[in-house]
Amino acid sequence: MHQNFIQAGAKGTIIADISKIKIMNKSISTTLLLLCATAIFSMTAPGCKSKPKDPAIKTSVETALRADPQTSGVMVDVKDGIATITGTVKDAAAQAAAATIAAGVKGVKSVQNNVTVEAPVVEITPDDPLTAGVRDATKDFPGANATVNDGVITVTGELKADDWKRLKMALDGLKPKKVDASGLKINK
């Protein structure tokens, strides 16, 4: 009888222990499930992804700009994802390309385009050939006199407005530094 009591007691104890184990297992399973869900959510949540830092963005923009020969001389500075590009390029197309390239880099929020287009090189004709060209251009305009000094054509005399327009076009075609007509009287 004593053995039955012990057995019954043991059975009750075993049953009680099994219930506690089941509750603990359920609690551990729930905790592990919550931990796994939190870990997965934190790795895939869009707001939790790290954003590129300014130095990394700057390096990426510089690399992209150097890859295009027309923008290879453009420099960049990045602050809070805003790329400021500076430098000089040959034409407006290269200026626009620099902004487009910078804007296409991951992490760039906006682009401040301070890139300038270089001034066109003006070819200036030396005085001796210029003087010969001026003499040839003015031969059909007897009322005008023209001299050349240091690349500047100075026109004096008197011409009709239509004649002046034709002479001016001919003189500009010689590519002087300047055509000074302040001493020319123009009649209508």
CATH of the domain at 139: 3.30.1340.30
* Separation in Å, CA 130 to CA 4, 153, 172: 132, 9, 11
pLDDT tens sequence across 85-125:
999 999 999 999 999 999 999 999 999 999 999 988 766 66
d(CA 180, CA 188): 19
Considering the domain architecture, whether residues 64 and 34 belong to the same structural domain is answered as no
Considering the domain architecture, whether residues 132 and 182 belong to the same structural domain is answered as yes
Considering the domain architecture, whether residues 106 and 61 belong to the same structural domain is answered as yes
Q: What is the DSSP letter of 121?
A: P
Q: What does the block give as tokens for 75?
A: 């420099």
| 122: in domain | no
d(CA 141, CA 157): 10
Q: How many domains does the chain have?
A: 3
pLDDT tens sequence across 65-89:
999 999 999 999 999 999 999 999 9
- Planar angle of CA 143, 146, 152, nearest 5 degrees: 150
Considering the domain architecture, whether residues 110 and 141 belong to the same structural domain is answered as no
Considering the domain architecture, whether residues 23 and 60 belong to the same structural domain is answered as no
Considering the domain architecture, whether residues 169 and 144 belong to the same structural domain is answered as yes
User: DSSP alpha helices (H): ranges in 45-182?
Assistant: 54-66, 92-103, 127-138, 161-172
pLDDT tens sequence across 121-166:
766 666 788 999 999 999 999 999 999 999 999 999 999 999 999 9
Dihedral (CA of 45, 46, 51, 52) sign? positive
Identify the domain containing residue 62 by its residue range.
54-117
pTM of whole model > 0.95?
A: no
Considering the domain architecture, whether residues 108 and 146 belong to the same structural domain is answered as no
| 153: in domain | yes
**% the chain with pLDDT above 70:** 71
Considering the domain architecture, whether residues 34 and 72 belong to the same structural domain is answered as no
